[in-house]
Amino acid sequence: MYFTWYFEGIVQYDVMLIINELVAKKVLIYEYINDKFSNIYFQNKEKIYLPSIKKSEKLNGTHSQNMKLLNTLPFVLIRWNNLYNLEERKLLLLLQKNS
């Protein structure tokens, strides 16, 4: 179920916490995520607009932007082999599963 409070509360804080932790561990950088998100299009060539990722306590985005970000982020991060066994990746997948 897609509850507004989930994507405008829990997801905003938890996803940003995960991203900040990966940046702190020097596994990832904000610019990489923003660059990948700026080049994502759906099959019908529709551009998706996601909030810019920068060091913050929570994501700056609407319910639908945060939902798209949560569903897209694992695909953006899949190329990083060193993320596979990290707890942050597992938490991200749990958040996605519960959405």
Burial class, 11, CB count within 10 angstroms (exposed 0-12 / middle 13-18 / buried 19+): buried
Tally helices (H) and strands (E) across the chain.
5, 0
Helix, strand or coil for residue 59? coil
Determine contact, residues 80/28, Cβ cutoff 8 Å.
Answer: yes
pLDDT at 68: 85
pTM of the complete model = 0.80
Tens-place pLDDT, residues 46-66: 777 788 899 999 998 888 888
Q: Is the pLDDT of residue 82 over 70?
A: no
